């Protein structure tokens, strides 16, 4: 049972009543109801539910705007389809903006007039956040990051133990005691970040990148204070909390004095820090930032590491993470790396910037109440994978790895899911 106070309503409406934000006003008021975006959205495609089209999500937000900020909407709400922000509307807003959108932006590139629909969904999330209606499951992930420094609440001792164990294993594998995973080292070329899923569930992806750094003779380090590349507050719609997390990363870079920040394979983390943080922090970083995907491509291109494409003989396909590819423009680097490390590569249909979201983005993996819907929307991706006939699916994003791993089991795809660093490590030729 929801009982909205006037204060909550005012705070929510303040997000919409932003006359300085010309993008918001333009995109809120421009939908021409052509319907062309419908078939771009995995939620509509999953069960043809007309209430889940991107246009319906745009209209939900626009109808609130009309009700409070236009003459016709204030005077004739019923005729103009204007809707009041009240107790009844909140569950629908939570369901549409949090539960039925991964903010993948595929609809943006299919919209006949180029609306930024994902941006409008994020505005809806910001209103809900302001009014205190972020799903508790997503908020607890943000709270863990705020209170412990990483979204999984991994303790310092647990993290250091894991890294030490991985380092010993790496030294045994390479028969080389100089192979290391350096922690908190000042003045290195690279400060490398991780998705907390790596130390928690997928530690071998840390070893893979450490092996590549060793082969490249890179000067690098990981911070124990701030290694978490993720920022779920960007997706919960709370920019104050997103700013705290992004500031910590920036401060750690400055404290350790590394020349370049290399962001791990994590689509939303890369987007939230590299491309979006300068906007919401309103600052320019005074250090260089790249994703590990670009770094891996650069190592191979420059001859800094050697790889043999004949080691991996299975058929390989690639899942393009929305935040990296459609929203970040990192499209060719992962294809170049795969062209040098595997022999039998096949693209999904569609792929690249038109690729389907796997269904796990925008915080969906954190919101367990939508698990059933998440598996249903993931069927498109499962079918795409099955149609390639691939045995290995590579994706440069740990969030996507998690969703694809669940789809693999749910739809019995019988494939291996790997990060790009794991593929490069498997194809490495060491002196």
Kindly list the residues in this chain that would bind ligand SF4 in the complex (CB under 6 A).
31-37, 40-43, 54-55, 57-58, 101-107, 111-113, 115, 117-118, 121, 357
CA distances from 414 to 204, 390, 394, 406 (A): 20, 10, 14, 11
Considering beta carbons, is residue 102 or 150 the nearer one to ligand SF4?
102
Q: CB 327 → ligand SF4: shortest distance, Å?
A: 10
Spatial distance between the Cα atoms of 113 and 184, rounded to a whole number of angstroms: 49
Spatial distance between the Cα atoms of 262 and 264, rounded to a whole number of angstroms: 6
Contact 312, 423 (CB under 8 A): yes
Q: CB 173 → ligand SF4: shortest distance, Å?
A: 41
> Per DSSP, what are the bridge partners of residue 161?
none
Using only the alpha carbons of the chain, give its radius of gyration: 22
Sign of CA dihedral 43, 49, 50, 52: negative
Considering beta carbons, is residue 196 or 321 the nearer one to ligand SF4?
321
Q: CB 235 → ligand SF4: shortest distance, Å?
A: 12
Spatial distance between the Cα atoms of 96 and 90, rounded to a whole number of angstroms: 10
User: Taking the CB of residue 322, how many other CB atoms lie within 10 A of it?
Assistant: 28
Considering beta carbons, is residue 99 or 182 the nearer one to ligand SF4?
99
Strands (E), 202-243: 220-221
Considering beta carbons, is residue 35 or 81 the nearer one to ligand SF4?
35
Q: CB 96 → ligand SF4: shortest distance, Å?
A: 9
Q: CB 60 → ligand SF4: shortest distance, Å?
A: 11
Considering beta carbons, is residue 32 or 283 the nearer one to ligand SF4?
32
Considering beta carbons, is residue 369 or 426 the nearer one to ligand SF4?
369
Contact 274, 263 (CB under 8 A): yes
Q: CB 38 → ligand SF4: shortest distance, Å?
A: 7
Q: In terms of residues, how long is the chain? A: 431
Q: Tell me, rounded to whole angstroms, the distance of Cα 185 from its chain centroid.
A: 28
Q: CB 353 → ligand SF4: shortest distance, Å?
A: 13
Spatial distance between the Cα atoms of 38 and 111, rounded to a whole number of angstroms: 9
Considering beta carbons, is residue 15 or 58 the nearer one to ligand SF4?
58
Three-class DSSP category at 51: helix
């Amino acid at each position: 049972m929801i009982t909205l106070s006037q204060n909550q309503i005012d705070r929510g409406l303040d997000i919409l009543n932003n006359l300085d934000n010309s993008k918001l006003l333009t995109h809120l008021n421009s939908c021409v109801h052509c319907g062309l975006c419908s078939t771009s959205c995995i939620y509509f495609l999953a069960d043809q539910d007309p209430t889940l089209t991107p246009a319906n999500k745009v209209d939900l937000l626009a109808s609130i705007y009309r009700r409070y900020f236009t003459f016709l909407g204030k005077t004739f709400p019923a005729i103009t389809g204007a809707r009041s922000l009240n107790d009844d509307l909140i569950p629908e807003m939570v369901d549409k903006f949090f539960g039925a959108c991964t903010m993948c932006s595929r609809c943006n590139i299919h919209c006949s007039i180029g609306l930024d629909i994902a941006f409008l969904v994020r505005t809806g999330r910001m209103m809900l956040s302001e009014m205190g209606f972020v799903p508790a499951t997503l908020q607890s992930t943000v709270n863990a990051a705020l209170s412990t420094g990483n979204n999984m609440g991994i303790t310092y001792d647990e993290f250091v133990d894991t890294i030490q164990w991985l380092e010993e294993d790496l030294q045994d594998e390479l028969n080389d005691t100089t192979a290391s995973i350096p922690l908190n080292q000042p003045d290195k070329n690279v400060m490398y970040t991780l998705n907390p899923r790596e130390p928690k569930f997928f530690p071998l992806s840390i070893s893979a990148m450490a092996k590549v750094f060793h082969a490249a003779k890179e000067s690098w380090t990981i911070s124990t204070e701030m290694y978490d590349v993720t920022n779920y507050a960007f997706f919960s719609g709370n920019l104050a909390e997103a700013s705290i997390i992004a500031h910590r990363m920036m401060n750690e870079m400055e404290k350790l004095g590394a020349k370049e920040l290399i962001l791990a394979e994590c689509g939303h983390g890369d987007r939230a820090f590299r491309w979006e943080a300068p906007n919401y922090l309103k600052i320019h970083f005074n250090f260089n930032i790249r994703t590990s995907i670009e770094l891996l491509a650069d190592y191979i291109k420059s001859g800094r590491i050697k790889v043999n494409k004949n080691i991996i003989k299975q058929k390989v396909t690639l899942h393009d993470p929305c935040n990296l590819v459609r929203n970040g423009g990192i499209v060719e680097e992962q294809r170049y790396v795969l062209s040098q490390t595997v022999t039998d590569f096949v693209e999904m249909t569609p792929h690249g910037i038109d690729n389907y979201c796997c269904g796990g983005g925008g915080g969906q993996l954190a919101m367990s109440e939508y698990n059933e819907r998440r598996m249903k929307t993931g069927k498109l991706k499962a079918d795409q994978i099955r149609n390639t006939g691939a045995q290995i699916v590579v994706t440069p994003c740990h969030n996507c790895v998690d969703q694809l791993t669940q789809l693999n089991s749910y739809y019995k795809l019988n494939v291996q899911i790997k990060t790009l660093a794991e593929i490069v490590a498997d194809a490495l030729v060491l002196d």
